[in-house]
Amino acid sequence: MTTAPAVQAFLYALVALLVIIDPIGTAALFAAMTPNDTRAEQAEQAKRASLIALIVLAAFGLAGEGLLRALGIGLPAMKVAGGVLLFLTAADMVTAHGALRATPREREAARRTPDISVFPLAIPLIAGPGAMTTMVLLRSAARGDFASVAAIELALLVAIAATLAALLAARAVARLLGEVGANVIGRVLGVLLAAMAAQIALDGVRESLGLR
């Protein structure tokens, strides 16, 4: 077995996860939600949220497909639904960054809550529905190849590590980018995500029609 499929799976998964998680945009939101926290408090919440998100997304990557089978949901349907969901997330990123991943009520609740590591930071900002769907679809694309599955989980680890690094530097990121800079990056990533979402949905439609 060559390593090319595993390398390809790693690179594709890494790009997809970085786009959907958006570490820079998430860090900017994190800084806005914790303006009165000390650096130590921010660091503790960032580490806890990253660990929770890693566990949740890794579980979806390993067992999500089995759960779909238990519920009688076919992979083509999941691809179409996942593509639509990712497209909605992408549209939200382009038009109003972050609104689907954390509603105004959720962000307001976060400001009033001393510890936001579980909600809304870990879920839904990092391990949101789009990221969960992405892990299931990536696992499905691996077709049971152990090396590819391991590569996808490794890509998830790298993406979460990058997110943690961005969260730890949240104040610096917010100062460096400013509100305009964060919005620009979010919109560019949203366009890329929209293209990936369209491809996933089209693949699902083709498979449901028996076309290859």
Question: pLDDT-derived band of residue 108, with 50, 70 and 90 as boundaries?
Answer: low
- Separation in Å, CA 51 to CA 113, 124, 174, 177: 19, 14, 23, 26
- Alpha carbon 164 to its chain's center: 13
Report the domain count for the chain.
1
pTM of the predicted model as reported, rounded to 2 decimal places: 0.75
- Separation in Å, CA 202 to CA 79, 80, 115, 189, 192: 8, 7, 41, 20, 16
Q: Residue 179's domain spans which residues? A: 4-208
Q: What are phi and psi for residue 35, nearest 5 degrees? A: -70, -25
pLDDT for 211: 79
Is residue 27 over pLDDT 70? yes
Average pLDDT for 20-39 = 85
Helices (H), 34-145: 39-70, 75-95, 104-112, 129-142
Average pLDDT, the chain: 83
Which residues, including other chains, have CB under 8 Å from residue 20's CB and lie 6 or more apart? 86, 89, 128, 130, 131, 134, 193
